[in-house]
Amino acid sequence: MNLPLIRRLRQNFPNAHLSFLADRSLGELMSFQRDLDEIVPFDPSSLRAFGREGRLYSIFRKGRYDCVVISNPHKLMHLAALWARIPLRIGFDRKWGFCLNRRIPDRKSELALHEIDYDLALADTICHEPWDRSFGLDFVEGASEGPWEKYGLDPSAKFIAFHTGSSNPRKEWPYERFGSVIEEVLQWGMFGVVLLGEGDPIAALHRMGLRDNPRLHNLMGRTSLVDLARILLHAACLVSVDSGPYHLAWIQKTPVVGIFLKDDPGSSPRRWGVYPGFSRCVELYDVRDRISSDDVVEAVRKIMHAQRPVKA
């Protein structure tokens, strides 16, 4: 969700050196971004308690940055930026926002705007030119090596990808309902199915009530983040709960069916769904017990025939 913010900063400051502080697991994926000059790996666990912010302070001091933009408010992040005496400190006025010298109100909990728009509002404090509405995963252009041979996939076969899990249990839709949807898709005979995400692949199949099928490719727990993104690029559709892979799909224009559960107050398609106009989508939004397997099957049917973005 930070990619448009990064793009806008590059538009407005074409000669600036842009560094991106990232979890080490994101380093390879973000290293393909043409708008960035440097990826600075960082372990977020160092922000879990006071006294561990020294590593972040050292990064800020070593970089001798003129400006820091903090899109995810955190007390120790704000404090380290202040201690490092970065001249321009931009962020949301929350979690010790007094450490910043350019701050805007944090209204994300109101769910009125998309996450991208909230982050772009930070750039309003220093950028005159608006975002040009371009962003994506640059690595897909001219990628010389795909994941097909590595995972035994046929690059010419049409498939629908499924991502079933979430790090937040309140966002998870029942596995057995996913299994019913997958069985229906396989019965159509037109598409293979690729299972993606983390976790034990055998246990996941058992929870979904699925058996081995030559058109069912279970890659759970096997792909790197970059391979995951490349597979999603070629999917006919992704069916997923509110998750990171969901964003990796629609950012690349892959059609998506999103399951957003009101059981988690923060899981709203208005804030976390497809950015308007970027990809074909059907986004289901209700409490867990009111979204049935039939609802998702119908959404998949609709998305495969949709000519423009559709939201449910």
Mean pLDDT of 187-216: 93
**Residue 118 and residue 152 in one domain:** no
The answer to whether residue 51 scores a pLDDT higher than 80 is: no
Q: Tell me the per-residue pLDDT of 264-276, one tens digit each, with 9 for 90 and over.
A: 998 999 999 999 9
311 in a structural domain: no
Query: Where does a domain end: 135, 167, 202?
Result: 135
**Residue 199 and residue 60 in one domain:** no
**Residue 194 and residue 285 in one domain:** yes
How many domains is the chain built from? 2
The per-residue pLDDT for 45 is: 77
Residue with tokens 């069912």: 216
Mean pLDDT of 55-65: 92
**Residue 120 and residue 18 in one domain:** yes
Cβ within 8 Å of residue 53, ≥6 positions away: 46, 47, 76, 79, 80
Query: Where does a domain end: 87, 117, 135?
Result: 135
Q: Tell me the per-residue pLDDT of 91-118, one tens digit each, with 9 for 90 and over.
A: 999 999 999 999 999 999 888 999 999 9
**Residue 52 and residue 177 in one domain:** no
312 in a structural domain: no
63 in a structural domain: yes
Cβ within 8 Å of residue 54, ≥6 positions away: none
**Residue 22 and residue 98 in one domain:** yes
**Residue 90 and residue 187 in one domain:** no
Task: Give the pLDDT band (50/70/90) at residue 25.
Answer: confident
CA dihedral 228→238→293→219, nearest 10 degrees, is -20
Q: Tell me the per-residue pLDDT of 224-260, one tens digit each, with 9 for 90 and over.
A: 999 999 999 999 999 999 999 999 999 999 999 999 9
217 in a structural domain: yes
**Residue 46 and residue 121 in one domain:** yes
The per-residue pLDDT for 15 is: 97
Query: Where does a domain end: 135, 159, 183?
Result: 135
Which range of residues forms the domain containing residue 280? 145-305
130 in a structural domain: yes
The per-residue pLDDT for 309 is: 45
**Residue 162 and residue 231 in one domain:** yes
The answer to whether residue 140 scores a pLDDT higher than 60 is: no
Give the dihedral sign, CA 73/46/27/13. Answer: positive
CATH number for the domain including 266? 3.40.50.2000
**Residue 129 and residue 150 in one domain:** no
The per-residue pLDDT for 306 is: 60
The answer to whether residue 204 scores a pLDDT higher than 50 is: yes
Percent of the chain past pLDDT 70, that is, above it, reads 94
How far, in whole angstroms, is CA 103 from its chain's centroid?
A: 25
**What's the predicted TM-score (pTM) here?**
0.91
Task: Give the pLDDT band (50/70/90) at residue 136.
Answer: confident
**Residue 11 and residue 116 in one domain:** yes
310 in a structural domain: no
**Residue 209 and residue 121 in one domain:** no
Give CA–CA dist 142/23, Å, rounded: 26
